[in-house]
Structure 1
């Protein structure tokens, strides 16, 4: 055990050294841990800037790491990092660090700062009622309302330490830290796979409905009609997308209660032969994302309602991200439980599904509980660490 712990510490030190120089010199990179995996991968691109894609259709056949926004626009492009260097385990980094320290291509490049609007609880209530009115009119069946909270009491937070702590705290999530031009620096621990393709099998997931687990066992959680309806909407949508691509022999498991940190959700999993979608991967993602779990249904109407009601830009929150064709595996996750590093501190993004039976106060509480997934870890990080501290200004 002691030898293993010593090895893990050494691996972390080596990786931290690499992340430090990438952050310091603003070099595009991503470091991530897949669910149930102890090994982390770090991808660095330093010879040219990551590629901007016009549509997710273009990811078919690509290799690297994709980060895509909730809703495509010029301000928040779909970005593909095509790595010049991949680091795993305890492989040496001295030579690549020497190379990166000589790299001047990305020095001084910062993402444009976009103003962020923080909704108060009263404004959030009005937004919930506006969505419920659209549901009553028959425009939509469901919409997901998000909000942003900027936490300013986080100067001196070590972003690398935060990332490492999240990896330890949430081994069942997709944990990442990334930095790219026009994207910014994001950190997250997403519990929701969008599409996993490994060997010849593909998996996608329907997750909706949220409760605080508290002191209960997962098996003791009971779901009301509103929560089950919310889950059924997402599940039906995904089934229709799968069917539209002519995919048959789909194995469906669920719905069942699924724990994600201090929360529990309703989850249904689909698994099928990947041969049909591999040559159409981009088109499949376009059809799938955004799912009703992050926007609503019908998709087009729900997106319009969300964009008209919300007063902030979601940016990359509730979009998707993940490695594509890295070691023959593709793993896309919905970008949930995430934060963005901003001049004031950290911007937390959270959301809740609004249906006809939604009660505004409860939806506000749900977003607050979701925020604690990251905020509790942020609060636990030792701010006196002498490792790299991301520079921030405070109001």
Structure 2
């Protein structure tokens, strides 16, 4: 077997440009992943994780063991898992992986990205139409007031068709340089299709016995006006509706992670994080792993889907999503990340993303709907979330 790269955890110091050189080297078909701790660029496929009835974490462990027994010194798996746990994942052990520091640690990320080279114009088709989406939100609120469920995350899509194939390296550059401290990815999923995005939300990471999860829930669009932007951030921190929505997600993450932990810490109140387009309520949950044999991916699968991307109760919310969303989510609100044979890894919720296939880009955005939700506000939130990718492709807004 071909040798894979050594331990994916980078060891400083790194020269200036060590992360951006990997970003610049990305080509369609590669697997690129940038997190606040590292930058990975993977080539080829040494082995694919097979689809099957066993839990995906077990299939990943078996694949890594098989590759290691074939002579690979420190294999790792990279890829994406769909929203539906029963659907096939897109996980591979690459032939070779280049590793660098976090993009945010590379001063060259401040250099402005160029505009994507193609196409010059896009035809935009929303699914569903914003007015139909608003009616779905109103209907869901009515059902919640009737006691059927307490939260559901409803998404919509925006299909962009260009005159030519999209410039994937150019889009990745703009995504990564706009939010270098976030989680940026470009991964092939099925033949001819690439999943790209810049997610703000860490589902779970493991390094040694340290576990970290960073649930986000409760959001507001940013403003180009500084005073208004600060006002919106302050209002989000005091919003009863958003604080309640956030608390539900944090409680779910806490209860799910606790059995895996010898100790766990959950801050009493959320803080704020920002992306180029949104403010989010954020809580960083940390824990000490109780059993060393448990991988980051196993815990990620236990957490998935959190109320932040599905709703509560989860089984009812899944059914409601199926009733209202006229499309298959696919990898949207699934997971992207990496893991090694020791169980270390980082798994991120697949948000602020699009799938590219031929001349078509399909963007996804959702909003958490609770009984206090306003249909117009939730529709506006999804439009603001689309802005992350619309800015990356140079398309007009919706």
Say whether the fold is shared (TM-score over 0.5): yes
Which residue of 156, 176, 181 maps to 2:185?
176
Partners of 1:260 and 1:324 in 2: CA distance: 26
Structure 1 residue 7: Cα displacement: 7.5
Change (3 A) 1:120 1:52: same
Change (3 A) 1:266 1:248: same
Partners of 2:17 and 2:284 in 1: CA distance: 38
Which residue of 311, 316, 319 maps to 2:326?
311
Whether the aligned pair in 2 keeps the contact of 1:141 and 1:355 (CA below 8 Å) is: yes
Match in the other structure for 1:107: none
Change (3 A) 1:265 1:47: closer
Change (3 A) 1:191 1:12: closer
- Which consecutive residues of structure 1, in runs of 5 or more, have no partner in the other structure? 91-115, 381-395
Whether the aligned pair in 2 keeps the contact of 1:218 and 1:258 (CA below 8 Å) is: no
Partners of 1:277 and 1:133 in 2: CA distance: 46
RMSD (Å) for aligned C-alpha atoms: 2.8
Segment of structure 1 superposing worse, 168-177 or 130-139:
130-139
Cα shift readout 1:123-168 (whole Å, capped 9, x = no counterpart): 1122112322331232211000001101224735311121122221
Aligned pairs, how many? Answer: 337
1:355 lines up with 2:370 in the alignment: yes
Cα shift readout 1:2-32 (whole Å, capped 9, x = no counterpart): xx7787776655x24xx2xxx3xxx5x4111
Whether the aligned pair in 2 keeps the contact of 1:251 and 1:270 (CA below 8 Å) is: yes
Partners of 2:273 and 2:17 in 1: CA distance: 33
Whether the aligned pair in 2 keeps the contact of 1:50 and 1:180 (CA below 8 Å) is: no
Match in the other structure for 1:41: 40
Whether the aligned pair in 1 keeps the contact of 2:254 and 2:266 (CA below 8 Å) is: no
Cα shift readout 1:312-336 (whole Å, capped 9, x = no counterpart): 1100000011011289740000000
Match in the other structure for 1:72: 85
Partners of 1:156 and 1:182 in 2: CA distance: 15
- Which consecutive residues of structure 2, in runs of 5 or more, have no partner in the other structure? 1-14, 65-75, 102-124
TM-score, normalised via structure 1 length = 0.77
Structure 1 residue 184: Cα displacement: 2.5
Cα shift readout 1:227-256 (whole Å, capped 9, x = no counterpart): 11110110111111123x153421223411
Match in the other structure for 1:31: 32
Which residue of 119, 122, 134 maps to 2:131?
122
Partners of 1:228 and 1:154 in 2: CA distance: 44
Structure 1 residue 298: Cα displacement: 0.9
Partners of 1:247 and 1:6 in 2: CA distance: 37
TM-score, normalised via structure 2 length = 0.77
Segment of structure 1 superposing worse, 193-202 or 178-187:
178-187
Partners of 1:200 and 1:290 in 2: CA distance: 23
Cα shift readout 1:22-56 (whole Å, capped 9, x = no counterpart): x3xxx5x411111265xx31122345555335433
Partners of 1:275 and 1:7 in 2: CA distance: 35
Whether the aligned pair in 1 keeps the contact of 2:45 and 2:92 (CA below 8 Å) is: no
Partners of 2:126 and 2:327 in 1: CA distance: 5
